[in-house]
Amino acid sequence: MGNYAIAIHGGAGSLMTGTVTAEKEKEFNDKLSEALQAGYNILSKEGTAIDAVEAAVRVLEDSPLFNAGKGSVFNSDGINEMDAAIMNGKNLRAGAIAEVHTVRNPISAARAIMEKSKHVLLASTGAEKFAKEAGLEIVDPSYFYDDNRHKQWLATKDNDSINSWAGDGIPEGTKKHGTVGCVALDSQGNIAAATSTGGINNKKFGRVGDSPIIGAGTYANNKTCAVSCTGEGEYFIRNVVAYDISALMEYKGLTIAQATAEVLKKVALLGGEGGLVAIDAQGNISAPFNTNSMFRGWINTAGEKFTGIFR
Amino acid sequence: MGNYAIAIHGGAGSLMTGTVTAEKEKEFNDKLSEALQAGYNILSKEGTAIDAVEAAVRVLEDSPLFNAGKGSVFNSDGINEMDAAIMNGKNLRAGAIAEVHTVRNPISAARAIMEKSKHVLLASTGAEKFAKEAGLEIVDPSYFYDDNRHKQWLATKDNDSINSWAGDGIPEGTKKHGTVGCVALDSQGNIAAATSTGGINNKKFGRVGDSPIIGAGTYANNKTCAVSCTGEGEYFIRNVVAYDISALMEYKGLTIAQATAEVLKKVALLGGEGGLVAIDAQGNISAPFNTNSMFRGWINTAGEKFTGIFR
């Protein structure tokens, strides 16, 4: 049985050490740990990377602590609008969904698109129709409601889109790029990536970020790496971040750590911020960010577990 | 004044030599020529590449001969649903729009998103709202109606999505990946790319192809190249085709002709077909396709003009 490993993120942002209560910090770390374990349990039983990344992301989607699935931020119409993508490094198959309001677990809908349709990206009401026909769990949009997220939206809805984030135990004005994601290597040597998001608080005009864009927020290829990003999505799209990491590894022979550092530097050069988790086919994990904090965690090939928020 | 040049495509497909009437062939070539000239006139007066690609694509969008803007194919609900993207190689700024039914020129809406919003990709009704507020020409969805396209849809609507294409002067059962696109180099040394499409005939579930995906169907970077793709969009997304050409040039030193050939080979390996137009910062043009035909044309740095459909 080959090596296996998993890494996750729950969004990058401006949260500073010492500004979050100890209780809240523990709550976040516990949930990150639970998500990691959900994926790792699959990997340790010779399960596939694609099953592991879906399982881990579902845990984060189901938690109101993170901006994906339940607990997604509100758009300018006061509703939750979600995007997700998944990619299998074994065969370069991919599925993605954008602008849905009724699919309980968008990451599972992305997987259904990958496996049960001829398409990669479905959006809006058509995507919801597909998810329903594919047998996914459909919920009333009110399922996604979270009181803290709603207060955040009420406080900012008369301004332009503001990516601020506050709530129980979190200081006012904290900036956060809410997205969750996971990458994994399984014991058969296959890697996969998954990303899910509620987008930007108070987002207007049907804005779609990098999460459901294959090559930008999500990418996986057994030859190189699997990547899931979080940050100012527009900069990640313009830099084709996830695929660029793969290209630097494949075409220039960079290690995963070198490639992720190089690409985040390019994002910063254009003025963007964020972070990502990445894994290569040997199980090396890289989780850099150019913000103050990134909710993240991993269990490496030695079975060592880490979760954390700050630098 | 530096060199300038322009290249366009009007979709790749299975059309065989000798199967289209001479009148129809002339009609296509005339329209390709008109689009090229619209862009070239801007370039020859020291205008910008971004203005040139928008102008050329607008001509193709306004013509019912091509599957973009007026004359777009019908989706499974019997309406025209359009996507477009534009990217400026000078500053890596980009704009894209997906699933719109009321914007007369989707490429101009993509440009407005690039220049007047903080976002890259807007979709569906939100995108239409943005376009209206940005002052773009809004039309009744019936504007996009074309009798041949409607007949094509009626003939296939009870089947699965079928990318067939027939019409006045075109044999039944012809396969075509309808998309239009343009790349250009201006006399200041800047390059740009633009792509616009009506997607797949009888498409379901809000399917979005590669055209509005930066890095997949559309990409531009002064360091390397500008690219606009046409083909089976899903394969172009999974291969991150447009950015991969750029990466091969930047990281491996390939010429534009070598890079485009390499990347189309990867698309074919996964089972996909299509083509693209690309230009580098010296004005070298590459327009390969792995289908029988691709509507295409260019005016190179020597001022030589070509338009054609077949190999």
> What does the block give as tokens for A162?
């503001």
Phi-psi region of B189 (alpha: psi -120 to 50; beta: other; left: phi over 0): left
- Tell me the average pLDDT across B31-60: 98
Shortest Cα distance from B211 to chain A (angstroms)? Answer: 12
* Chain A interface, best mutation among B120, B163, B236, B262, by max A CB count within 10 A: B120
Please write the tens of the pLDDT for every residue from B232-266.
999 999 999 999 999 999 999 999 999 999 999 99
Active site residue B156: no
Average pLDDT over residues B66-90: 94
Print the SS3 string covering B45-95: CCCCHHHHHHHHHHHHHHCCCCCCCCCCCECCCCCECEEEEEEECCCCEEE
Q: How far apart are CA A210 and CA A72, in angstroms?
A: 16
**Rg of chain A over CA atoms, in angstroms?**
17
Contact B38, B257 (CB under 8 A): no
- In this predicted structure, the answer to whether residue B157 has a pLDDT above a threshold of 80 is yes
Question: What are the b/e assignments for B84-103, b being 16+ CB within 10 Å?
Answer: bbbbbbbebbbbbbbbbbbb
User: Side-chain half-sphere of A294: how many Cα atoms within 13 Å?
Assistant: 26
Question: What is the C-alpha separation between B228 and B276, in angstroms, rounded?
Answer: 6
Confidence tier at B160 by pLDDT (50, 70, 90): low
| Residue partners of B29: CB distance under 8 A and separation at least 6 | B297, B307, B308, B309
CA A55 to chain centre: 13
B68 vs A262: CA distance, rounded Å: 38
How far apart are alpha carbons A295 and A279 in whole angstroms?
A: 17
- CA distance, residue B262 to nearest chain A CA (Å): 13
The per-residue pLDDT for B1 is 81
Task: Output the six-digit token pair for B289.
Answer: 């396709």
A243: how many CB neighbours lie within 10 A of its CB? 28
Residue B18 has phi, psi (to 5 degrees) of 85, -5
Identify residues of A whose CB sits under 8 angstroms from chain B CBs.
Answer: 92-94, 98-99, 117-127, 129-130, 161, 204-209, 213-216, 219, 233-234, 237-240, 243-244, 247-248, 251-252, 270
Query: For residue A275, what pLDDT is reported?
Result: 97
Q: Which two tokens stand for residue B17?
A: 């030599």
Instruction: Report the alpha-carbon distance of residue A176 to residue B311 in Å, rounded.
Output: 52
Among residues A102, A156, A179, A291, the one annotated as catalytic is: A179
Q: Please give the average per-residue pLDDT across B134-142, as a whole number.
A: 96
Q: Which tens digit of pLDDT belongs to each residue from B186-234?
A: 999 999 999 999 998 888 899 999 999 999 999 999 999 999 999 999 9
Residues of chain A with pLDDT under 50: 161, 166
Q: Chain A: residue nearest B206 by CA?
A: A126
What does pLDDT average to over chain B? 93
Residue pair A95/A230 in contact (Cβ under 8 Å)? The answer is: no
- Point out the catalytic residue in the list B102, B156, B179, B307: B179
What is the model's pLDDT at position B283? 98
Q: Which domains does chain B have, with CATH numbers?
A: 5-310 (3.60.20.30)
Per residue in B25-39, pLDDT (tens digit) is 999 999 999 999 999
Can you give the pLDDT at residue A166? Answer: 47
